Amino acid sequence: MTQQNFLKYMQMLEERQRVTLEQQNKFFQELLQQNRVERPENQGVTLFDFQNTKPISFAYAPEPMDAEDWLMDTERKLNTVGCNDLEKVFTWEEFKRKFRESNVPESIVELKRREFESLEQKDKAILTYVFSKLSRYAVEEVNTEDKKKKRFLRGLSPQFKVQLRMMRATEFQELVDAAITLEDDFKQLQDEKRKKAKFEPKKFTTTSPIPA
């Protein structure tokens, strides 16, 4: 992608996010106006009920899945207060579709999916290994415990793979915990070796001169 195309693409994303933010504001502003009218006793949820759940505001998401997380959190809170489609300015499904179009573009999701496919631990610590975060972009590759374990092992450093495979962990989290423990043991062993090497006297070798 050329620099010019990249700038155009970023401008397009910014415009999408601006439109989405306007839609979000409109959604909640109209809901507020709707609830300012005196409601009959049989009317259900008000905006005040929803605001009591302390919903998170949304302006910009650096990662597509951050936007998806906001969407899921808001949906959970709407369900918590029992807000149905009749009480919404427009249906939640319509809002989700427009929101995802602007903030979870397929092109970015595809790039993240490819990043996950080539993901390796290399010199990163297992705790900072972004496996779980990126795996959300490739759900079909990690939709079972067995698939998750195999893909996690595949990206680990060779020094951990053999021992972890011998463990035969039944659950993914069990494998992750074992990998973290193994990495910590390995680090302590390396630290001990460095300490010993630091205090051990250096050995010097001399060579006898070759007789003429």
pLDDT, tens digit (0-9, with 9 covering 90-100), for 19-65: 666 666 666 666 555 554 544 555 566 666 666 777 666 665 667 67
Local confidence band at 107 (pLDDT 50, 70, 90 cut-offs): confident
Q: Which of 43, 74, 104 is the endpoint of a domain?
A: 104
In a domain, 110, yes or no: no
Per-residue model confidence (pLDDT) at position 155:
85
pLDDT of residue 27: 67
Give me the mean pLDDT over the 115-128 stretch: 72
pLDDT in tens, 163-179: 888 888 889 889 889 98
Q: What share of the chain is helix, strand, coil (3-state, %, to 5)?
A: 65, 0, 35
- Which of 101, 46, 48, 30 has the alpha carbon at shortest distance from 71? 101
What is the reported pLDDT for 43?
A: 55
Residue 149 lies in a domain: yes
* Inter-residue contact 20 to 102 (CB < 8 Å): yes
Question: Do 100 and 136 share a structural domain?
Answer: no
**202, part of any domain:** no
Residue 139 pLDDT grade (very low, low, confident, very high; cuts 50, 70, 90): confident
Whether 71 maps to a domain, the answer reads yes
70, part of any domain: yes
Domain containing 170 equals 121-195
pTM of the predicted structure, to 2 decimals:
0.44
Within-domain flag for 209: no
Residues 82 and 128 in one domain: no
Rg (CA), the chain: 27
Residue 117: per-residue pLDDT: 77
Query: Which H or E run contains 199?
Result: helix 172-199
